[in-house]
Amino acid sequence: MARKAKVVGEARFTPKRAKNAVAVAKVLGPAVLPVMAPLAVRAAGAAREAYDRYQARKLGVSVDKLGEYTGRGAALHARIAGVAEGCQDLRKSEKASKADAEFAAGALGTLEQLSASVRAAERMPAARRKSVHRAVAGELERLEGQLLHRLGL
């Protein structure tokens, strides 16, 4: 039996092929679904875990703290938390001078204000939010530089 010549522009998925696909799915579905469902669930879980690890690595935090940093300002919140932790370490350091302790106290106050600014920016229009985020990032860079200098790095 000769095949029909394919007409240019003919649809590949026709109503007849759709009926055939549905019929095959009705027969194979009950047999394949119980086997494939657990595999699909495990694959989805593994994909989610990999994505969470990627996000945590991108923000510079551990996976269990990932839920604390959400929204458009998540990266800034993570940076603020990191600098605050560094200031606490500087304050507790045995080598810290009185000036270092004063810097840490002042920086922690500034970091609280920056954190409030990032939270407030979440509800702003995109252009204003981006300008707030740029300003906060600039201030964070300055504080990080001073903190690293005081820690001797």
What's the pLDDT score for residue 4?
62
> Under a CB-based contact definition with an 8 Å cutoff, are residues 150 and 125 in contact?
no
Which residues in the chain belong to E strands, given as ranges? none
Quote the pTM value. 0.70
Cα separation, 132 vs 117, in Å, equals 7
| 13: amino acid identity, one letter | F
Cα separation, 81 vs 60, in Å, equals 10
Which token pair is 127?
């252009």
Task: Quote the mean pLDDT of the chain.
Answer: 89
Per-residue pLDDT tens digits for 81-103: 999 999 998 888 888 888 988 99
Q: What angle do CA 83, 49, 34 make, to 5 degrees?
A: 165
Q: Is residue 76 packed enough to be buried (19+ CB in 10 Å), middle (13-18) or exposed (0-12)?
A: buried
| 95: amino acid identity, one letter | K
| 54: amino acid identity, one letter | Y
